[in-house]
Every structure is written in structure tokens, then in C-alpha cells.
Structure 1
Amino acid sequence: MLKGKKVLLTAGPTYEPIDPVRFIGNHSTGKMGFALAEEFAEKGAEVILVSGPVNLKTFHPQIHTVSVMTADEMFAEVQKYAAEADIWVFAAAVADYKPKQAAGTKIKKDSDSFSIELVKNVDIAATLGKQKKPNQFSVGFALETNNELVHAQQKLQKKNLDMVILNSLQDAGAGFKHDTNKISIVERDKITNFELKAKTAVAQDIVRTIMERMYA
């Protein structure tokens, strides 16, 4: 059980504003992250759930939800809780880039083409990875379309993660907009493959594996 443990968990997409009515985002629903939050709470942990804009709610008394919109807002909230958390799980699909400057008023379609200059968002997992203490356990997610395992292993190293949850958009029923997922858990010396399952069952597999590693 995880009674007495604190989990910091990110979920959902981020929306990066172009102007007051448009944004750059992605198809993340937050279902995987919310399923994980519920499973951690069921195992006794106190969960800080930092979520981007989703159509989901959780009413578990062990879960404290913080709603954000942008990657910068998510990073600011995560920084508040990172030091005190025993487990970090970065399940959010954070936008890699944002407009360099958001327009203050709605952009009109006055021309046949329109360019937006994008700049990199903060890499939340990598930045916190530099601050991770030996007693903290850090988990990242990798949603890939090609060279999946190579990219996941690179994330494991670059971001100082203990574990990467890999899923591929090549697998039917996995990724965004599904109630199911098919994952591989990638560790430094081990890769564990799972069958396609409901995201609630996937959350159970992930939390159980984290507990096994922490209490090994």
C-alpha cells in the first residue's frame, strides 16, 4: 500500500494561446492520468493531480485537483509540490511549442497565408529530473509513432526517469481518444509488455509495478 506517500501527477493536454479564441493543443483526454490518480488514491496515496483542460472529474477524497491551461501554468504548479512528493508521474501531453507571442485580439483572416513563430515550452520532466532526490521515483510517458523503444530509452536517460510508459499510435486502441491502452513499461534494465486493456486496468498495472520497484 501507499499510505503516507504523496504522488504528483500531471494529466491531460495543454492549450497554448494564439489569440483569445484560438490555441495550439492536442487530442489528449486525460483519461489515463485520471485513471492513475484514482488507482494511486485507492492504494492509500495522497495525490496532487495537475490537469490541463479536460472533461473529467474525480471526487476521491485523497485526490487534490489543480486545473491549468498552458505548459507554463502546469510547470508553475508542479514546482510547488515536487519537493514533497515521493512519486512523480508525468502523464500529461504537454505541448512542445507555444506561440512566441499571443495576439491580444482575434486575428482576422486578411491574407491567404499566416505564419506563427513558435518557441519551445519548458520540458517539465527533464527540468525536475535535475532536482530529483534519490528517494523520489519518477515516471514519464512516451507516445510515439516510430522508433518507439529507442525514443523511450532516450527519455529515460535524458530526463532522469526511473520508468517510461511507452505506447504507440501504431497500435489499434492505444493512445488518445480511447478507453483502452496498450503499453510497455521501459526501465534501464528491463522491458515489460502488456496486452491491450481498459485504461483503468492499465493504471493498475502501472501502479503495481511502481510499488514493486519502490519496495523491492
Structure 2
Amino acid sequence: MELQDTIKERKSIRGFLEKPVPKDVLNQILAISVRAPSTKNAQPWHFYVVTGETLEQLKRANVERFRSSEDPPEEMAHTLIEPEKGTVYRDRQVDIGKRLFKIMDIGREDKAKRIEWIERGFRYFDAPAAIILVGDKSRPIEGAYLDAGLVIQTICLAAVDLGLGTCIQNQGITYADAIRDILQIPDDKRLLVAIALGYPDDDFPANKVISPREDLENVITWCGL
């Protein structure tokens, strides 16, 4: 697949086939993804690749904590900040939510369906694999997210190139204490993001949603041309 086609094809996948992703395919994705650039070649990332019963444990733990209204650990506060109301960033968030709820037939007052949708996120959208990306706490958090973003995009594009889909989630690392316990992640590592990964279910309605992009003329300033 041509690179530009891969970039255009990538989108958030929220419904997956019940088809395991072979270990060699996951390894192939990460082997190319670690070629992503990083600040001063720090390569400050570590990947917990989770499948099978271990992933099922994560799903159950997340849903149990959500259902019990357990507050997320303080260390995850920075991942839960919502865009300020009245900004274009909040408008875009609301817009994609409306698109998803419409195609999934989730009514505004349908609390049961809304809760089920939230729980799907805590179950990594029932993907057969998930990648938990962590970084060293010794690095400034701003730099950690810059480098994380570079490798995350590379993972997602490599997945598309191999016929897989992904969904980048902070929801998947909300209950960090459970994830640390199940995966034995040491305290000196910072949980950065989760990536749900698997073979897309083309019949799942939400997978048909393509998030719009701002017109280029609104986000570019030409200087010297």
C-alpha cells in the first residue's frame, strides 16, 4: 500500500473480528514502529503487548472499577482533562460523539446504551490485542508525549498496512492501579496510552464513521511564499 493511501485509510476502529492477531504480526508492527523519531534519539518507550486471558483480566478489572464508580488514580489526572467548553476543540469532540451515537442508534436519553458504549471502551472495544505504551518517569511529561505521539502514529500506520485496525485510547489506561498490578508495570514507568488492535469488523456501524478534518486553509499560514 502506498504511504499516502495508508495515512488516508487509517481511522479509529471500535469493532473487531474475533480473530487473534499472530505474535509474529504484532512483532512486525513494533519492529518497524521503533524506527519512529524521538527527541535526541532517546527512544523512551516500552510496549506491553497484551492478548489472551491477560487481556481479558484487564477488561474485567476496568469494567468492574467503572461499575463501582471507583475514581481513577491521581497519576492519571492529566489524561482526563476535557477540552474547554466554547472552544473549537470541544466542538470537534462533541461532533464526533454525535456521529458515533447516531450511527450506533444511541439516543440522548438512553442511559443503558450510553453506559454499554462506555464499557466497550474499557474493554478495548473487544479487540483481540492491546498495546500499553509506557515511558520513564524521569523524563519530562511534555517530551514523553511528544515521543509517544510519534511512535503511536507509526504503530497505527504499520497496522493498517498489514490489514489491521487500531483505536488510540486514554480510556484504556484510566484505572492505572489495576493495569500496573496485572501487567506488573514498575512504579518508575508512566502509563501513556493504550492502543486497541485487531482485524476490523467491516459490518460494525461505528467503523463506518470517518472523522472530518478542518479545511487546510484554516490551519496553515504561509510565510515567505
TM-score bucket of the superposed structures, by smaller chain = under 0.3
With structure 1 as the length reference, what TM-score do the two structures score?
A: 0.24
Higher normalized strand content (fraction of residues): 1
Instruction: Identify the structure with bigger relative contact order (alpha carbons < 8 Å, sequence gap 6+).
Output: 2
With structure 2 as the length reference, what TM-score do the two structures score?
A: 0.23
